Structure 1
Amino acid sequence: MTPEKFIDWLAPVAQRICPRYKLYTSVCIAQAAMESGWGRHTIGDYNIFGRKAAAGDLFTEVRTQEYYDGELVSVVDKFKLYGSLEEAVEDWCLLLTQEPVYVEHVDNTSLETFVQTMASIYATNPDYAYDILATIAASQLTQYDE
């Protein structure tokens, strides 16, 4: 999928769901683009956020790369399976607004502050925040926050 087609596919759903949670649609789109390679590496049909499975979730096992102690290593992990794109976006929103490690950082923060804080919790990649912000800028994703 091209970046343009990926945005056309995801943006309408994200624009409907993210504002209900007071989350930036641009961050949702950028993070999904990064996690899924613009839809080329989606886990199952709709896991575009690289969300790992918890107890009771439907899942599939996938080889992935994680940073541990500054070193990139290959591991096999369990990732969530979703029945729809709406379900995946809703789950991303719920994670960021209900999971205690994120809750205190969601309300009343600027886009950059939100990304910097969320990224350090969400991913092991030390450049994750920079990459999200660069993706937002390069694809002019802030237009979807309105």
Structure 2
Amino acid sequence: MDASEQTAFIKLLGEPVQKDYTRTHILPSLVIAQGILESGWGTSELTKSSNNLFGRRGTYNGKSVQRIDTEIGKEGERNDVVVTYRKYPTIAESIKDHIESLLTSEIKVNGKPVKRYQRVMDAKTYKDGALALKASGYAADIDYPQKLITIIEKYNLHEWDKIKFINHTVKHGDTVYRLASKYGTTAAQIKSWNQLNQNYTIFVGQKLRVK
């Protein structure tokens, strides 16, 4: 894969994750690096046969593919097993499903369900995020965090973590609906970004995120 193809692949993963960051709080660099590492830049057999970038098992909307994989047993023995993997109609849906899985996976702590990857969502740097993925049980490979960090730094993927917001200082005559129209978004989105009340109440001098 040449440099231009790598750039296109990075953009393919980075754009949707960055766009959705304010909802997910998952750093784009982490997901891009995961996709690169786990799919071999999109060249793996699993990616080619099912658009499955992240090796997610099971079925997706009833679709799957089966592969014979080698797994290591408790005594260190190697066993060939048939594994069912999700088959996606598009790469975009593979990315979306991966993100949703990180957001919704739960474990029980003291009998109560908690978000399994909460530490990943709380991470403010790609290094913390990579370590959080391993600590949360995402991968068995003890070198997994360092592999992600190496990829992120080699390809400057941390640049995707610089989320740029546009803020607006409320003036006389402003309403949430007028601001939504001005900045090409929706009133509901501005309400969500700024945790406004049900009446969309704003006041002069208030700083709002509008994009």
* TM-score tier after normalising by the smaller chain length: 0.7 to 0.9
In the alignment, which residue of structure 1 is the partner of 2:168? Answer: none
Judge which range, 5-14 or 76-85, deviates more.
Answer: 5-14
In the alignment, which residue of structure 1 is the partner of 2:146? Answer: 130
Higher relative contact order (CA 8 A, sep 6+): 1
Tell me: CA distance 1:46–1:53, structure 2 relative to 1, closer, same or farther (3 Å). Answer: same
- The whole-number CA distance in structure 1 between the counterparts of 2:92 and 2:83 is 23
Aligned partners of 1:67 and 1:124 also within 8 Å? no
Tell me how far 1:85 sits from its aligned partner: 2.4
Equivalent runs, 1:98-113 vs 2, <5 Å: 98-101=104-107, 102-110=116-124, 111-113=126-128
Aligned with residue 50 of structure 1, among 42, 48, 55: 55
3-state secondary structure, aligned to 1:48? coil
- 1:83-140 per-residue CA deviation (whole Å, 9 max, x = no partner) reads 2222211111111111014243233223322211213412222211111111111111
Tell me how far 1:36 sits from its aligned partner: 0.3
In the alignment, which residue of structure 1 is the partner of 2:9? Answer: 6
Which of these two proteins has the greater Rg computed from alpha carbons?
A: 2
- The whole-number CA distance in structure 2 between the counterparts of 1:14 and 1:27 is 10
**Aligned alpha-carbon RMSD (Å):** 2.6
- The whole-number CA distance in structure 2 between the counterparts of 1:138 and 1:72 is 35
Identity across the alignment (%): 24
- Report the count of equivalent residues: 146
When normalised by structure 2's length, the TM-score is 0.59
- 1:7-38 per-residue CA deviation (whole Å, 9 max, x = no partner) reads 13322233223443111111110001011001
When normalised by structure 1's length, the TM-score is 0.82
